[in-house]
Amino acid sequence: MTEHLAGVAAALLGTDTDEGRRVAAELTRLAGAFPGPVRLGLGAAGTGLNLAARVFAGRSLSRLDPGAREAFLVALSGRPGGRALVEALKPPLMLAAAAAPVAAAGDAAPEPELTCVAADDWPHRSRADAVVVGSGAGGAMAARELARAGLTVVVLEEGRRFTAAEFRRRPPAERFVDLYRDGGATVAFGTPPVLLPQGRAVGGTTLVNSGTCYRTPDRVLQRWRDVHGLAYADPDRFGPLLDEVERTLRVAPQPIDVLGRNGLLALAGAEALGWRAAPLRRNAPGCAGSCQCVVGCPRNAKNGVHLNALPQACAAGAVVVTGARVDRIVTTRGRAVGVRFGRRLIAAPLIVLAAGALETPRLLARSRLGDHPGLGRGLAVHPAVSMAGRFDEPVTAWQGVLQSVGVEELHDDGVLIEATAGPPGLMSFVPPGIGRALREELATADRLATVGAMIADQPSGRVGARLVRYRLAPTDADRLRLALVSIGRLLFAAGAREILTGLAHRPYAKNLDELRDAVATADPRHLHLAAFHPTGSVRMGADPQRAPVDPTGALRGVQGVWVADASVLPSCPQVNPQLSIMAIALAIARTAASSA
């Protein structure tokens, strides 16, 4: 792969051949964490571009002089298929190009005690009162409650334990591919495709999320209660659950002194427009603005569940088995009796699934518990777009809080705006350009402020055994257009002299009219979408025909199996969902413990 991509990297990033070869070698190394089809796709893309260069320019890209290979890529990107290929290669090559350590200010907080055992060291046959599959937001909270109820609890986690010391010494790019399933290359296929990064480690996605902690809106809870029949979701009943979760995570408004200029500009733009905005509430009481939340906090300042709920579960007797991918749930005569992972069996009468909205339905299907017609359907992903504003003065968005400010003016319309940045190589916005133009953009990236927006989407995705499919609803495409224009308004109001739109056909806008025209003429199929909050693939509900899980969290059709993760949420929660997931898991685990 390295040789095929060397010329592509040099042409796309505007570097010499030696640097292109270094970047290609780094991408080849990082790509070891990607799924096979993605690795094949990268190799095929490199081969195809070099073949095209030979046909149209007479030589492979690595043998062309810098001007000729850049001219070839620019010409190729002028065609729809070629443009899509070039744009798809840009993020992984930028990731590989930025594979260097990033300094972290201050010392790291000490690691809490966790009782972790590697899967290879676990007995081939064992027993427990309860097995929890997954150690993220839902699994950690469920394990804590079951252990505190006096049950012997084993938590099975496919990933491994990471430490802040490791985060401090390793480059963000290396951490990224290790911390995420499929190296962060999970995709929901559709028009457009949606990138769906999912954490895989002790602590799950809470180890790598932004730390933003919104309480579930009352309007969402009321819908879950009135339409889906969830008694847990009554606002008066759910409020105390959210309070308990917030205490566990030590949630508080982010102090302004570490927001960084990216967040301060978002606040300034909102104030100029008269929009509702404020620093976000986060589970990061010791945040120093390292801007590395998505690749593991190097200071242990962000309170993922690996720092609280899981240690609390272990203090009550729970054990975490790492490197344990569960093959199936074992049942006998309609009742759960244990789980298998590799050649190991844990006998247990109570199983709590918390593997996430993509993996929980797959595990149920592998276990032949997937007969319900709603299993794997109804996936909502909270799709997100982002834009950048160019300012005359330095912004240096990667110095400060990664996700710092929430703008809620359009939240009732299904659009939540959040100022979001990222460490070098993992920018929340991919700049336009090829070759020298891209190199110039990267050289002046310190003048860019980046803002994203998520929309409350229709549950139109489906989780299959191998693929995730997602269809953007027409009303959601309209919401995305509203989101893009609104981000632009915010950035212009903050003083941006130009907007980088992220739209291939109109990458720049000098004023609001130009931006509105660019957004109005954009094809939704060509939007660059990412999503970090998949929910609803094993939804809870009172209707047995539509919901695989009953209103208490028990899986229909088999006794002893409960589901306590994002997959049970009946619809998009319209906010970053960590608190919602942990609160519903808390309620489900208490009910499950009382039935044990």
For residue 51, give Cα distances in angstroms to 5, 77, 83, 287.
Answer: 12, 15, 16, 49
Q: Which of 4, 228, 528, 533 is catalytic?
A: 533
Do 349 and 592 meet the contact criterion of CB atoms below 8 Å apart?
Answer: no
Distances (CA, A) of 420 to 77, 261, 293, 504, 514: 28, 11, 11, 21, 24
Give the DSSP letter string of 465-481. SS-EEE---HHHHHHHH
Active site residue 124: no
Exposure string of 245-277, with b = 16+ CB inside 10 Å and e = fewer, is: bbebbebeebeeebbbbbbbbbbbbbeebebeb
Q: Parallel, antiparallel, or unpaired for β 153-157 and 319-322?
A: parallel
Nearest to 384 by CA among 457, 449, 433, 445: 457
- The number of helix segments (H) and strand segments (E) in the chain equals 17, 25
At 182, give phi and psi (nearest 5°): 60, 25
Tell me the β-bridge partners of 468. Answer: 188, 463
Q: How far from chain centre, in Å, is Cα 380?
A: 13
CA distance linking residue 377 with residue 374, whole number of Å = 5
On whether the CB atoms of residues 518 and 527 are closer than 8 A, the answer is no
In this structure, which long-range contacts are made by residues 241-244, counting pairs with CB atoms below 8 Å and at least 24 apart in sequence? 241/583, 241/584, 241/586, 241/587, 242/215, 242/216, 242/579, 242/583, 244/583, 244/586
Tokens representing residue 386 in the block: 């982002």
Residue 114 CB: number of other CB atoms within 10 A? Answer: 21
CA-nearest of 10, 104, 109 to 423 is 104
CB within 8 A of 177, min separation 6: which ones?
Answer: 30, 32, 33, 34, 183, 184
- Residues with a known catalytic role: 533
